Structure 1
Amino acid sequence: MRLSGLSLLGLASYALATDNTSLPPNEIRQVTPYAVKKPPLTTPWTNKVGTNPWPEYPRPQLKRSAWKNLNGIWQYQNAADLDALASPPFGQPLAHEVLVPSCLESGLSGIQANHTLYSWFTTRFTIPESFDDQNVLLHFGAVDYEATVFVNGQKAGFHRGGYFHFEVDITELVDVDDENELLVFVHDPTDDGDHVIPIGKQRLIPAHIFYTPCSGIWQSVWVEAAPANHITRLDLDGNMDGDVTVTVHSATDEGAPVKVKVYDGDKEVGSAEGTSDESFQFRVDNVQRWSPNAPKLYNVTVTMDDDEVHSYTGFRTISKSMRSGVLRPQLNGDFIFMFGTLDQGYWPDGLYTPPNQDAMVYDLKFLKGLGMNMVRKHIKVEPALFYRACDELGLLVFQDMPSPRPLQTQKDAHGVTRDILPNEEQQEEFVRQLELLVNQFKSYPSIVAWVIYNEGWGQITKDYPEFALTDRVKELDPTRLVDSTSGWIDHRAGDFSDNHHYANPQCGTPIYSLPSRPHDSSRIGFQGEFGGLGHNVSIEHSWNVQQSINQINETYELDATLEVWNDRSHLLLTELKDQILKYECSGAVWTQTTDVEGEVNGLMTYDRRLKRVDEQQWKDDIQALYDAAAERAGSTEMKRQL
């Protein structure tokens, strides 16, 4: 281990001008202290965040007891380009204090910058005495987009992919008796230049349905102690019959002995022994099945040699089957009509990063309270605690893969305008990150389907890659359904025939069949997006950015009053009910949970202070959907959801 720490960060301060241009290397200025910048809109939680955000253990399905949260006030400064990596600012204070985790473009970060393509972050930390004789693992929940990590002046690791957890073993670099310097260089091109990377709806220049980007360390950072050969990933699935399938991935991949115990509360109800890095199965008798009506979870403890982690599972099976002549999605062997919102996970004060866990769960409880049993997590990946909350509340999740460069064009060498799509190398990176998505999140019981492409965004039209991608996702996770192309362009891949249409639903019916989204009875009829009804609000509930305000009229439909908005919602939900009764509709997604920037079609405003919904009307209309589905299926399987 390193024998000497660094103690220069509290002395003189290197700084940058607030317009993100670099100073000469030796010019000294005072560090700008942290303060929340006033965002274009706040939430009820903006002023409750403080300087010790997200204290919860960040990875609930692989939890260790010896850990230390590194969230809080760090230091940040802009860098000019990738050449900055040649001369890292070791031992130097940076220009600004910044809140970690947060998006640099957000008010909560204290920076609220634009075009933060290259950034330095630094903090100092000590190692708890309880870490003695253990390896020290440094974890990042997510950094957008590329992170180069240095510890005490030495390069420790590199990660690419703005939505995914990564771990660095820093045992040989840290000093257990002194402070340690952590320095992180972040490159986040978003949609700059020729970069075609998974970005979802982020854009350097926001425009209506595309929003302010999120750069930097936007999920929690922590260190924890573990043996040299430790558990790196836990694949855990419990089915409706009580069968548990486990793969315990290890740091050395040497086939160590593993013990797994399952608990109902504090009572042990099942156990098994196996070998790491190999899948094995065992059964737990008399399990209570997980469902939206009864989201029962069981605690799990896994031991591999000297390493012990805590996790959990829910016993459920997701499948599809013909029911009364219609292909239906099934949960635990019963047809389940899935209804929820397009959930984009944006916050006016934190952008990608919710202000705190209470704020994040508030949205989910609101949806559950209306009677919804599902959310479609729209081309964003959330912190792991989001999925834990869905597991606990009983909300099914359709999880999207973030799209690369959606709906952007450029002129080729011949002056012809073409869609920006991944080249071969960029497509390989998209596939690698799709695999990360599935592998990192496939143990959460609430996730029922993976969505590969949304409305053709980043979807290569030559050779139809969605077929091979669907096969790969099912190989990595055979326990779930795959919505290969939500909306269009549909070549009949995957488990869903998924239609998007806003002014009225077009779910599972041949009436609206088009070449780009053909009616297909061989797949599950699904309304992947509909609604989108807009209602403008006063400036105190609006994203106060003039360009966004100017684009509000691009909303699919703007209703003058909340009464009209609720009347129109009732009409659309009634039309959906009729399609459920007559055709092959098995689920639908209303657009959307909240307003986002210039979009004003949420069930709530962007600040979460105003609910548009007539709650009793919506509860009744949603229950009518479940009742219609039960009637159409000719069964009483679908119990009342409210």
Structure 2
Amino acid sequence: MKIDITGILLSFLIAGKCLGQQNPKLSDKSTVLENYHMKPIHIQSRWAKYVNPSNVMIEYPRPLLQRRNWENLNGLWDYAITDSSIRNPSTFNGSILVPYPIESSLSGVQKILRPDQCLWYRKKIQRPNFSSNERIIVNFGAVDWQATVFINNKQVGQHSGGYQSFSFDITDFLAEGNNEILVKVYDPTDQGPNPHGKQVLNPSNIYYTPSSGIWQTVWLEKVSSVHILHLKATPNIDKEELNLGINTVAATKNTTIEVVASVNGQIVTSNKKDIPAAQKEGAIVSTEVLLNIPNPRLWSPSDPFLYDLSIKVSQGKKIVDEVTSYFGMRKIDIQKDDKGADRIFLNNKYTYNLGVLDQGFWPEGLYTAPTDEALAFDIKTIKSLGFNTIRKHIKIEPERWYYHADKIGVLVWQDFVNPPHELPSGSRDIFEKEIKETIDQLYSHPSIVTWVLFNERWGSYDQRRLTKWVKNYDPSRIVNGHSGELLYVNDQLRAPSDSPWIESDIADVHSYPDPRNPPALHNKARAVGEFGGVGVSVPGHEWDDMQGWGYIQVKPELLNAQYKKMTEELKKLEQYGLSASIYTQPFDVEGEENGLLTYDREIIKIPASEIRNYNKNLVPSSTGFSLDTAFHIAANINLNDNDDRYEELLTQYKKGIRDSAFLRRVLLMAIRKKDQENATRIGNDYISNLTHPYSLDNLRLIKNITRTSKDKGFELFWKQSKKVDAELGENEALSKVKKIINSEEIIPFRNRNSNPDWDYIQKKLTDKYGDLGEELVLGKRMIYYGFESNDWENYGKYYMLYFEKALGHPSEYIVNNLTWVLYEHISNPKILEFAASVMKYTVEKSDQSPEAYDTYANLLHRINKSHEAIKWEEKAVELKKGTPGEKTFAETLQKMKSGQPTWPTNN
């Protein structure tokens, strides 16, 4: 593999001083690179090829509080995935490239982390050289979700929150020479109380692949025991001043702080203050410094001007800490225009917020952009297309994303990451903790002008209280209390509300596909927080090339006219009070194909010049929006490259073309055309070509294209089910195989026979598929006798026969439902005893619902184990508290305690 020596040297230069650690020799780099391979993925962005272990996110990760003395810990770490009960892994599975999520191809692992597992990271470092009054800090940009950090097997600290940065002082845990950093990560994704955004364990059209573990930069810093911890910059353009709040750690007597604001090295203003002494060692001291900024140059998308900041902490005459930062002078609020309409004002001027809904996902990195250049590309592209606003949707980005937004000049509407929809126990406290930490972390970025509290009722609660709290905690910004509280799809209102946008600064509707105005409300600007969603698939640039999604799906040649019509409608709505609009969306995201660009950022679906021309009617062009001629956005879409070419491409296939990308495309065309015979033939050729058939990306496709027992995927899933399940999840392989056997063998058999010969089909499928076929038929016989024929004797017989085979692995049926029917209709003690053992296994392994506990308790009571039954029914009653079924369960419990039967007495 060729090594870019220039890039390697540059990475060490930019990383700054290495805290006393010797740089690895360049001759060792080839070994490092051999230990890493990006996992195969069928689409990727142009930046993925530049990623290697020696050149990973080399830029300083926190530009608002930057030090020169730091060491980047990105690169290869050891990793292990263990059962959540394991206290310390005895072995590691291999290498993972930090900071890419373990589910991503760039991580080199590409495995799903399940809620019952933990992910471990290990990194060996040399103890930095430091003096007695210096400290070593380890910083994490973000770890999703809960991280426990150990140094040399001693716990340093724990942090919960998948989007917030955190740090630990590890000085006292370090030993001479080699040291070990160990990070334990627990991430339940959508199965816990944690905010998780659009990440789900089972991705769909509008929910995406999870990003577990370390997904932002990890770095060390050497600081004085007295050092700056946090900056909070609040501009006031009307008073021409900047209020700078500075938190320092462990200030002592005779400590001062000096702040200097400058432009191009020329000092604009400065101020120096004494820092009060801390009350105890390690305490945090807050100091406010006021800077007068005469005739301030105001920050805006048209002129994203930033002042430089230098902050020095001194003890006597000695500088003990120095950081650099920056700030922008801007103001955002709601004011009335000359016609009395409430509108969004930037720097005391009405400014239409023309934005897009940006979700921040990448095909190869998921939550993590492949490079810093890629991170900036999205913002540059959006602004180059004539937009001045980005709604950052249900994700908190790395600090450098906001740094680029500040420098490039866009207005950011920042969504908070909502709690889970069902608001499980603990989720409200977690959410409120995280929104406070988010505001604290991002407060000083001038680009952020709006906080968005809730989206379309996802996990929403206490809206009045929380909206007021956010406004009071950060009065320098607008608060959008609920984006899309009224949701319209095809002009139909899906989500009515009695008092929408209570306490909010903005009245915000979502309207798909066409935009609309929300009602005019006192002191609230009007916004359409989402609209558009027009889906266009681009062959060869799809994440899920089986099925794309949009609120409406159109042919490529119709999108241009559709977008033009929508912007014209926005202009009309603006005349009637609309202040902002957010188009869905700038880039495709996994199964969503409603972006202006494809997910890999390679194809733009409307020429950039035409989008700019439409948008300038709402946001006039200025020097701030000038298109850099050296900046390449993407190639224009080929309007003629669609499924109408199927016969042409099929002919090329028959002539012998076997390129994998070509085969994949023709295969999926065949499936969409319902040409199963050719789909099987082409699919089998495609699978035969695969170098890595068991990669997650390839297995997802194989699962989707496997429709018949003649498909190669059928045998692969049947014979290699453990390999498949290791990537796709438990029981995914055999579940697919069973569906095909059922559709090919059992459904036609049942359709031909009103009085089926079950012994015949059972023998046939047992001979053909072994235990798998026998289990499948036993399950169908059980359902037939119980739910179609009401033959309870045979139902009990086949319930036992089925679960004797199926109990050790996930069933295709809901065990509790089957068992309750048996309990109600069967009195045979042997069968009831067996059913109780089935439910015992079920409640211990998979189903902790009150209904499952109730079924188990009733069975125990019926087989004369009433003492044990009462304990389980009490658990069921406790879980059922406050729900409609509580009374029924309580009555059952009383019957058990009084020795009365709880089962139908006619059986």
TM-score using structure 2 length? 0.60
Residue 79 (structure 1) aligned with residue 82 (structure 2): yes
Q: How much does 1:94 deviate? A: 1.6
Query: Could you say which residue in structure 2 is the equivalent of 1:604?
Result: 597
Structure 1 pair 366–159 and aligned structure 2 pair: CA distance change class (3 A): same
Query: Could you say which residue in structure 1 is the equivalent of 2:125?
Result: 125
Query: Could you say which residue in structure 1 is the equivalent of 2:65?
Result: 62
Residue 502 (structure 1) aligned with residue 526 (structure 2): no
Mapped partners of 2:517, 2:437: distance in 1: 31
Which one of the candidate residues 385, 391, 401 is aligned to 2:400? 385
Q: How much does 1:238 deviate? A: 2.5
Query: Could you say which residue in structure 2 is the equivalent of 1:493?
Result: 503
5+ unaligned residues in a row in structure 2: which ranges?
1-33, 276-284, 315-319, 486-496, 627-907
Which AA in structure 2 matches 1:39?
Answer: I
Question: What is the correspondence of 1:544-555 to structure 2 with a 5 Å cutoff?
Answer: 544=544, 549-550=546-547, 552=548, 554-555=549-550
Q: Deviations over 1:519-561 (max 9, x none)?
A: 52431101111111111121x201146xxx34x2x52111112
Query: Could you say which residue in structure 2 is the equivalent of 1:185?
Result: 184
Q: Deviations over 1:476-527 (max 9, x none)?
A: 221111111000163423100011012210124x4xxxxxxxx524311011
Partner SS state of residue 191, structure 1: helix
Question: What is the correspondence of 1:8-87 to structure 2 with a 5 Å cutoff?
Answer: 33-51=35-53, 52-81=55-84, 83-85=85-87
Q: How much does 1:362 deviate? A: 1.2
Query: Could you say which residue in structure 2 is the equivalent of 1:27?
Result: none
Structure number with the higher strand fraction is 1
Mapped partners of 1:353, 1:386: distance in 2: 11
Question: What is the correspondence of 1:450-489 to structure 2 with a 5 Å cutoff?
Answer: 450-460=451-461, 465-488=462-485
Mapped partners of 1:69, 1:165: distance in 2: 15
Q: Check the 8 A contact 1:399/1:447 in 2, yes or no.
A: yes
Which AA in structure 1 matches 2:514?
Answer: N
Residue 568 (structure 1) aligned with residue 562 (structure 2): yes
Query: Could you say which residue in structure 2 is the equivalent of 1:291?
Result: 300
Which AA in structure 2 matches 1:393?
Answer: I
Question: What is the correspondence of 1:221-240 to structure 2 with a 5 Å cutoff?
Answer: 221-240=218-237
Q: Check the 8 A contact 1:39/1:106 in 2, yes or no.
A: no
Partner SS state of residue 310, structure 2: strand
Query: Could you say which residue in structure 2 is the equivalent of 1:331?
Result: 346
Question: What is the correspondence of 1:128-277 to structure 2 with a 5 Å cutoff?
Answer: 128-129=128-129, 133-175=133-175, 177-192=176-191, 195-241=192-238, 242-252=240-250, 257-274=256-273, 275=275, 276-277=285-286
Structure 1 pair 291–640 and aligned structure 2 pair: CA distance change class (3 A): closer
Q: Check the 8 A contact 1:487/1:528 in 2, yes or no.
A: yes
Mapped partners of 2:400, 2:382: distance in 1: 17
Question: What is the correspondence of 1:297-312 to structure 2 with a 5 Å cutoff?
Answer: 297-305=306-314, 306-312=320-326
Residue 399 (structure 1) aligned with residue 393 (structure 2): no
Tell me which structure has the larger Cα radius of gyration: 2
Q: Check the 8 A contact 1:376/1:589 in 2, yes or no.
A: yes
Q: Check the 8 A contact 1:373/1:395 in 2, yes or no.
A: yes
Query: Could you say which residue in structure 1 is the equivalent of 2:646?
Result: none
Q: How much does 1:33 deviate? A: 3.5
Partner SS state of residue 278, structure 1: strand
Q: Deviations over 1:582-629 (max 9, x none)?
A: x110011110110011100001000111011222221121111136xx
Structure 1 pair 116–58 and aligned structure 2 pair: CA distance change class (3 A): farther
Q: How much does 1:234 deviate? A: 0.8
Mapped partners of 2:608, 2:262: distance in 1: 38
Q: How much does 1:62 deviate? A: 0.7
Structure 1 pair 127–339 and aligned structure 2 pair: CA distance change class (3 A): farther
Residue 437 (structure 1) aligned with residue 438 (structure 2): yes
Q: How much does 1:641 deviate? A: 5.6
Q: How much does 1:66 deviate? A: 0.8
Which AA in structure 1 matches 2:598?
Answer: T
Structure 1 pair 272–526 and aligned structure 2 pair: CA distance change class (3 A): same
Q: Check the 8 A contact 1:422/1:458 in 2, yes or no.
A: no
Structure 1 pair 623–132 and aligned structure 2 pair: CA distance change class (3 A): farther
Detail structure 1 runs of 4+ shifted over 4 Å in the superposition. Answer: 130-133, 253-256, 638-642
Query: Could you say which residue in structure 2 is the equivalent of 1:109?
Result: 107
Q: How much does 1:566 deviate? A: 0.7
Q: How much does 1:128 deviate? A: 4.1
Mapped partners of 1:249, 1:568: distance in 2: 51
Q: How much does 1:387 deviate? A: 0.4
Which AA in structure 1 matches 2:573?
Answer: Q
Q: How much does 1:253 deviate? A: 7.1
Partner SS state of residue 120, structure 1: strand
Mapped partners of 1:131, 1:432: distance in 2: 36
Partner SS state of residue 294, structure 1: coil
Partner SS state of residue 301, structure 1: strand
Q: Check the 8 A contact 2:571/2:618 in 1, yes or no.
A: yes
Which AA in structure 1 matches 2:245?
Answer: T
Which AA in structure 2 matches 1:433?
Answer: E
What is the number of equivalent residue pairs in this alignment? 560
Partner SS state of residue 230, structure 2: strand
Q: Deviations over 1:139-187 (max 9, x none)?
A: 0000000000001121111000000100100010113x41210000000
Structure 1 pair 603–253 and aligned structure 2 pair: CA distance change class (3 A): farther
Mapped partners of 1:603, 1:555: distance in 2: 12
Partner SS state of residue 343, structure 2: strand
Determine which structure has greater relative contact order: mean sequence separation of CA pairs < 8 Å that are 6+ residues apart, divided by chain length: 1
Q: Check the 8 A contact 1:149/1:158 in 2, yes or no.
A: yes
Structure 1 pair 399–232 and aligned structure 2 pair: CA distance change class (3 A): same
Which AA in structure 2 matches 1:59?
Answer: R
Q: How much does 1:284 deviate? A: 1.8
Q: How much does 1:575 deviate? A: 0.8
Mapped partners of 1:133, 1:126: distance in 2: 19
TM-score using structure 1 length? 0.84
Structure 1 pair 639–35 and aligned structure 2 pair: CA distance change class (3 A): closer
Partner SS state of residue 601, structure 2: coil
Partner SS state of residue 594, structure 1: coil
Q: How much does 1:286 deviate? A: 2.5
Q: Deviations over 1:232-253 (max 9, x none)?
A: 1111122324311111112237
Partner SS state of residue 484, structure 1: strand
Q: Deviations over 1:436-495 (max 9, x none)?
A: 0100001001000101111110102xxxx1222122222322111111100016342310
Mapped partners of 2:581, 2:297: distance in 1: 27
Partner SS state of residue 279, structure 1: strand
Q: Check the 8 A contact 2:544/2:591 in 1, yes or no.
A: no
Structure 1 pair 209–474 and aligned structure 2 pair: CA distance change class (3 A): same
Q: Check the 8 A contact 1:66/1:131 in 2, yes or no.
A: no
Partner SS state of residue 620, structure 1: helix
Q: How much does 1:639 deviate? A: 9.8
Structure 1 pair 131–36 and aligned structure 2 pair: CA distance change class (3 A): farther
Q: Check the 8 A contact 1:484/1:495 in 2, yes or no.
A: yes
Which AA in structure 1 matches 2:68?
Answer: S
Mapped partners of 1:128, 1:293: distance in 2: 45
Q: Check the 8 A contact 2:142/2:165 in 1, yes or no.
A: yes
Structure 1 pair 131–473 and aligned structure 2 pair: CA distance change class (3 A): farther
Which AA in structure 2 matches 1:45?
Answer: W
Q: Check the 8 A contact 2:80/2:91 in 1, yes or no.
A: no
Q: Check the 8 A contact 2:384/2:625 in 1, yes or no.
A: no
Q: Check the 8 A contact 2:334/2:523 in 1, yes or no.
A: no
Partner SS state of residue 273, structure 1: strand
Structure 1 pair 146–163 and aligned structure 2 pair: CA distance change class (3 A): same
Which AA in structure 2 matches 1:37?
Answer: K
Structure number with the higher helix fraction is 2
